[in-house]
Structure 1
Amino acid sequence: MRERTGALWNSFRYWLGRRSLQSRLVVAYIFIILGPSLLVSFYSYKAINNTYMRDSIEKNSYLLQMEKLHVLNQIEAMERAAQMAYSDKTVQNYLINESDPTLGELIDFNTTSFVNLSQIQFNNPNIEHLYLYSSSNNMYELWPVIFRESRVSMEPWFQKALRVEGRNMWAFQNSDIDLMLRFSEEVEQGQPKVSLLREISIPAGHHIGMIQVDMLLSKFTPKTYTSVQDNESQMILADDELNLFARTDNSFLQNNSGLNAAIKDRLAAFRKTGEWQMDYKENGNSFMLIQAPLEQINASLVTVVSMKGVMMDISRTRNLIIGVNIGFIFLVTAIAYVLNAFILKNLRRLTETMKRVRRGEPYGSIRVSGGGEVGELAHHFSKLMNTINTLVAQAVHKQALSKEAELRTLHNQIDAHFLYNTLENIKMLAEIENQRTISDALTRLGGMMRYNFKWTGEYVKLKDEIRHIQNYIEVMNIRFEHTIGLELNIDSAYLEVEVLKMSLQPIVENSVKHAWNADGVELTDRVVRIDITEAEGDIFIALRDNGLGLTPQQLAQLHEAIYAKEEPGADPSGTSSGGYKSGGVGLRNVHQRLQLFYGEEYGLEVQSEAGKWTTVFMSLPKVLLTGDN
């Protein structure tokens, strides 16, 4: 994919590079305008999209909360009705009665308590039924309120109500069959309902009967079973067992087979984790699922909102934004093309003149009306052509002089092999005369010359630089009266590390020339020590001498010579007291080379203690020229 994108980009660059300046300027204007335009359009579209979505969610959430408030009022009404029936002592005694009541007792109960029970339902017209069941088989049934519980004892909801032991239990059913017609031939399919069931235990733990308060779901949650056709939203009620209750006509559940399972899965997840997922898609349709829990009855209200209308509004807005952008870009392109044609007219005249000159036609002159960059370019082009005519004549003369200089340079060149062979001949004469010291010195000197002349690259192995330093020390020991010792504290693993060629030798040479030179002072046991350590992938080389060291003032001047930035007209040799003038230049050169090849974080650092020692620390990255690391 990346290669394909790169190939397309290169093709576009090639195509654009072959277009005229006017065309490229128009393309540039389009891209300059297209970027901010797309950015503004994207954020505008995103803001409009979020606004539509937020308004839809807020609107349906408000309706859902209003419906929840209505459901809570119905729950309170049903609980109040059940409590009134439960707290009537006369009713309790009638349900407990195991003997046949007298006619007077029946008349008295019917004219007082039974009327009160009927009044409860009359005062709450939304309540469909108020049933009281007695466990006594000798109790007279007073239809349509009081029944023996043997009529319903085998119902699943009745058994569940017994298990909750006197607490309210809510049962949702898809049909409400009249109890008085249940055992007759006139069985009709009822409407979905919700029942409040509560066991009557007097005293506590002694079962005497059951209270049932029924309400049709169309009254319990009217928006769930509303007859008003709404293609944008549908409200659904889910009970504690995740059974869904909703209208059957024009239902989202029937038209989308996976919606039922999706609502159940999300309700189950919500009851476990408290997190609710709103977005849902099926058959290319987008829905928003909004839910409100009904904690009192362990149920939930869910509103399914179809986003089809919202998406259509968003799509129209998107198309409008795209159309405006396209029209704006076309308008800007046309204006830019006309203006560029007028501005670049003189540039095209200059271009045609250049083409004629390139073909070898004689150049006369060119006049460009107006000023600006194009007029200045035409003026300089005329000057350039006059200068070229002058330089052509000079070029022939310079070419002849150059050939003569090359021949003279060939005669002045010195063959490096001639010097090596001469040193070898002198070495052989010294060995014939048994002058071993001279022979060894010539060997060391030859090695130094080969190392210096053989400059095949900037980097060498550390062992090659160390060998060069050893040759240099041996040659210097011949020159000076006092022998200089070289101590190496280098692990063999670091000998393959790459270093800049001639980076260590100038530092050693600096110590040899300046560390032990002082008027009236003689030092013995002159030693240069080289140590190597490693930290965090970097190499630190310490070159230490036991010379006279530097005073703080001398060290400050040396630091200034090493680290100071070059200024025009400044003396490149640098200055430093105590004989460190040339030493500062050598160290400065090494420091600059290290930073040039490795980076600003690497280089040299000088530390010294007057009368005792001087140490030059070199930092560079660890890079192995050979080996497994």
Structure 2
Amino acid sequence: MIKKLIAKFNNTTLVKKFLISYISIIAVPILAVVSISYGTIQKRNREDSLKQSDYKLDAEYQNIYRNMSIMGNIIQIVINNKEMLAFIGGTEEYSTEDLVKFNNTTYKDIVHLQYNNAMIEGINIFTDNEKVKEIWPLIYRENRIKDNQWFQKTLENNTKVYWDINHLDNDINKAVVTNEGEPNLIVSLNRELRYPEDKHIGVVRINMASKNFFPKMYENPNDDSNEMLLVNKNGKMYGNKDNAFEQNAKFNKTKFFKSFQDKVKGNDGMFSYNDGFTEYTVVYKVAPIEDCYLVNIIDIGKVNSSIKYTRNLFVIGTVFLIGMLSLIIYYITNIILRRLYIIIKSLKKVRGGDLNVEIPVYSNDEIGLLAHHFRQLVNKINVLIKDSIDKKTVTKEAELKALKNQLDAHFLYNTLENIRMMAEIEENYTVSDSLASLGEMMRYNMKWDRDYVPLFEEINHIKNYIALMAIRFEHNISLRINIDERLMDKDVLKLSLQPLVENAVKHGLSKKLVKEDGTIVVDGKEDKEFTYITITDNGCGIDEASLIELKEFLNSSEQNTKHGLGMKNVNERIKIYYGEYYGIDIVSKKGYFTKIILKLPR
């Protein structure tokens, strides 16, 4: 089947091949990338939602803990206020003077606790003492609340606190109202008052609006992708009933609580929960309130809804665009191929040996460039053929010239050898030794059959050069070689050391040798990566400004006879043969020494 499809594809026209290739190479990968990207973005979106959920739960935990501490501190202050307890538990009628005194001291102290804590909705004390009259908004009769469940729960807890969560404060015929006039949900902290310790005198209640007690639970009410709940062990769930999630989602809380009981483990964690066709991720954390968990329920479908819409829109747009482009490509390809066939026809002529072919295709597009470069190619072939013929002629002439130079150099070397023998016969050994050194140097220079030589050959060449220079100056040049024997067989560039030694004699030692002996030391060492060969003279040295100028000259393209070309040529040859990382460095101190360092590969 695949072979038939390939054969059919090979037999189709070039236009159809372009269209099929375009769809296969561009369209299919684009759709695949979109699909993979969607999966990646979906995963990241889920991870971001979980991180945000963890953050919200941690923040809400801190908010609840802080608010519990505030309310607990206030109720503790009330319980520890002996004047307030004595007033509530009094057995005699209070005079006007006593009431005024109470109002100006103890009453104001308690009321100020509310005013100083902006989030506290109210501090209420309920008493069954008939001797105490109601003083709004602090002291009320206990019979107003005696039938309320929270009151009974408070009495059952004795002197322990009882938390009443998300209830309407309408049990004393006064509502804590919103701007719309509807009662707010509040959280209350309740405790029985006893004075002395064994006598019940009333109940104290501290109120805080639920939206202040659970700030994260009540923020973003229009977000229908998640909801935060407070869940206790009895299955009671507290949340923001005005939340968009609560309004829109068909969320079965009874079914959810059963799953929650089975899957919750430890103080925090997460699990997946499915309600019908809807997938949820549940993140939970133990709450500061006893036997309660903070739970954030995330609707994964809602979280990814915007991504799905974008993906579908992109896929539809891509398919439509591919269809339009396919039509355009079909017509443009037909136009292009007309000129392409002209080029193919010209290629056949070139293959037949006709290099004077003309290609009448001129434009600035790719086909025009192809025709232009083909014309240039034909011209280049003609030029190369001509150059090949010329090079053969030049090569023959060069071979004849090289043969002549070799004969001349050989004649000169033989002549020097004859003169050296005459000097030895006459016992003029200084001239004889100098001519021997010069002959060796000429032979070394003329014998250039390879670019690399063993290091010991370069060292011998340096010795011959120093021997010649010893005749020129009044004082001796001491040459010290400090190179390990195992380095002597290492290959180095030919004539890479002698020009540097010559430079040391010419510019470093020449003035010194008029008055005293001079020294040149050649050191060689290597580490794990590099080989270093240093040439040090104890001559006049170089001042700092000139040294900087010399280093810049070595690494520039400038040809300056002021600094000489020998050292620069060596540096350039090293970089050409070994790479830009290698070369020459110079260290010098005026009046003391100059050190030239060759950095070579190991």
Q: Please, what TM-score do these two structures have when normalized by structure 1?
A: 0.51
Structure 1 stretch 464-473 or stretch 371-380: which is displaced more? 371-380
**Is the contact made by 2:539 and 2:592 (CA closer than 8 Å) also made in structure 1?**
yes
Deviations for 1:274-301, whole angstroms, at most 9, x for unmatched residues? xxx7x75468985344679865668444
Q: Which amino acid aligns with 2:348?
A: K
- What's the counterpart of residue 523 of structure 1? 515
Q: Which amino acid aligns with 1:252?
A: F
- What's the counterpart of residue 267 of structure 2? 265
Deviation for aligned residue 1:485: 0.7
Kindly tell me: are residues 121 and 52 of structure 1, through their superposed partners in 2, closer, same or farther at Cα, counting changes over 3 Å?
A: farther
Q: Which amino acid aligns with 1:265?
A: N
- In 1, Cα distance between the equivalents of 2:154 and 2:545? 110
* Residue 591 of structure 1, aligned match among 571, 577, 586: 571
Q: Which amino acid aligns with 2:570?
A: V
Deviations for 1:139-184, whole angstroms, at most 9, x for unmatched residues? xxxxxxxxxxxxxxxxxxxxxx68xxx4425699xxxxxxxxxxxx
* Residue 360 of structure 2, aligned match among 352, 364, 367: 367
* Residue 478 of structure 2, aligned match among 485, 506, 530: 485
Kindly tell me: are residues 586 and 406 of structure 1, through their superposed partners in 2, closer, same or farther at Cα, counting changes over 3 Å?
A: closer
* Residue 325 of structure 1, aligned match among 318, 322, 327: 318
What SS does structure 2 have at the residue aligned with 1:527? strand
Alignment size in residue pairs? 470
- In 1, Cα distance between the equivalents of 2:459 and 2:293? 85
Deviations for 1:421-469, whole angstroms, at most 9, x for unmatched residues? 989x999989x989998589858965984597466454855x6644543
Deviation for aligned residue 1:514: 4.8
| 2:561 is the counterpart of 1:575 | yes
| 2:591 is the counterpart of 1:603 | no
Deviation for aligned residue 1:603: 2.9
- What's the counterpart of residue 251 of structure 1? 255
Kindly tell me: are residues 255 and 295 of structure 1, through their superposed partners in 2, closer, same or farther at Cα, counting changes over 3 Å?
A: closer
**Is the contact made by 1:86 and 1:211 (CA closer than 8 Å) also made in structure 2?**
no
- What's the counterpart of residue 615 of structure 1? 594
- What's the counterpart of residue 104 of structure 1? none
Deviation for aligned residue 1:587: 1.3
Kindly tell me: are residues 23 and 509 of structure 1, through their superposed partners in 2, closer, same or farther at Cα, counting changes over 3 Å?
A: farther
Kindly tell me: are residues 594 and 257 of structure 1, through their superposed partners in 2, closer, same or farther at Cα, counting changes over 3 Å?
A: farther
What SS does structure 2 have at the residue aligned with 1:121? coil
**Is the contact made by 2:129 and 2:201 (CA closer than 8 Å) also made in structure 1?**
no
What SS does structure 1 have at the residue aligned with 2:557? coil
- In 2, Cα distance between the equivalents of 1:592 and 1:550? 22
What SS does structure 1 have at the residue aligned with 2:514? coil
Kindly tell me: are residues 233 and 478 of structure 1, through their superposed partners in 2, closer, same or farther at Cα, counting changes over 3 Å?
A: closer
- 5 Å-filtered alignment, 1:21-60, equals 23=18
- What's the counterpart of residue 502 of structure 2? 509
Deviation for aligned residue 1:585: 1.0
* Residue 544 of structure 1, aligned match among 523, 526, 536: 536
* Residue 306 of structure 1, aligned match among 284, 293, 299: 299
Deviation for aligned residue 1:506: 0.9
- In 2, Cα distance between the equivalents of 1:282 and 1:243? 20
- 5 Å-filtered alignment, 1:135-534, equals 166-168=159-161, 203-204=196-197, 237-239=230-232, 245=236, 251-254=255-258, 259-261=263-265, 264-266=266-268, 280-281=271-272, 287-289=280-282, 295=288, 299-311=292-304, 314-343=307-336, 345-360=338-353, 365-368=358-361, 401=393, 408=400, 442=436, 446=440, 449=443, 453=447, 456-458=450-452, 465-477=458-470, 482-488=475-481, 500-517=493-510, 522-530=514-522
Q: Which amino acid aligns with 2:479?
A: L
**Is the contact made by 2:509 and 2:539 (CA closer than 8 Å) also made in structure 1?**
yes
- In 2, Cα distance between the equivalents of 1:523 and 1:388? 67
Deviation for aligned residue 1:354: 0.8
Query: What runs of 5+ residues in structure 2 fail to find an aligned partner?
Result: 1-9, 92-127, 133-139, 166-186, 206-213, 218-223, 238-250
- In 2, Cα distance between the equivalents of 1:561 and 1:88? 102
Q: Which amino acid aligns with 2:312?
A: N
What SS does structure 2 have at the residue aligned with 1:346? helix
- What's the counterpart of residue 150 of structure 1? none
**Is the contact made by 2:362 and 2:371 (CA closer than 8 Å) also made in structure 1?**
no
Q: Which amino acid aligns with 1:575?
A: T
Query: What runs of 5+ residues in structure 1 fail to find an aligned partner?
Result: 1-14, 92-108, 134-160, 173-193, 214-220, 225-230, 267-276, 567-571, 625-629
- What value does the CA root-mean-square deviation take over the aligned residues? 6.9
- In 2, Cα distance between the equivalents of 1:342 and 1:505? 68
**Is the contact made by 1:234 and 1:252 (CA closer than 8 Å) also made in structure 2?**
no
Kindly tell me: are residues 203 and 488 of structure 1, through their superposed partners in 2, closer, same or farther at Cα, counting changes over 3 Å?
A: farther
What SS does structure 2 have at the residue aligned with 1:565? coil
